[in-house]
Amino acid sequence: MLVCPDRDCGYRKGVSQMSNARCPTCHKKMEIRGDGDNKIFVCGCGYREKLSAFNKRRESEKSALNKKDVSRFLNQQNKKDEPINSGNSAMAEAFAKLNLK
């Protein structure tokens, strides 16, 4: 935080703030430092990234699938593989034994 040394002025300006963006190396929340075009994302593990590089990385990650999308797709595929009459297995067995030739 930047504070004006004049006690009568009392001007304060926050220079850094926590973001919800995660560090690509340790996955902790990163801090945004700087002002305007000079913003930098900084993590406690030492990872640093400029705002422009961060935006490029986020755009490239949007095209990739995330874990939630993959698990949702696999669950849909597993539901399709189940037999339709799974609750009536005794009746399905009886029809299978029935010989109508």
* pLDDT tens by residue, 31-48: 998 877 789 999 999 999
DSSP string, 32-92: EESSGGG-EEE-TTS-EEEHHHHHHHHHHHHHS--HHHHHHHHHHHHHHHS-TTGGGHHHH
Residue 88 has pLDDT above 70, yes or no: no
Taking a C-beta distance cutoff of 8 angstroms, is the pair 28, 22 a contact? Answer: yes
Sheet of 29-33: strand order equals 16-22, 29-33, 40-42, 48-50
Mean pLDDT in residue range 2-14: 82
Domain range list for the chain: 2-97
Mean pLDDT in residue range 5-16: 82
Please list, in sequence order, all residues whose beta carbon lies within 8 angstroms of the beta carbon of residue 10, skipping any fewer than 6 positions away: 4
pTM: 0.53
The string of pLDDT tens digits covering residues 48-78 is 999 999 989 888 877 777 788 889 988 988 8
Over pLDDT 90: what percentage of the chain?
A: 23
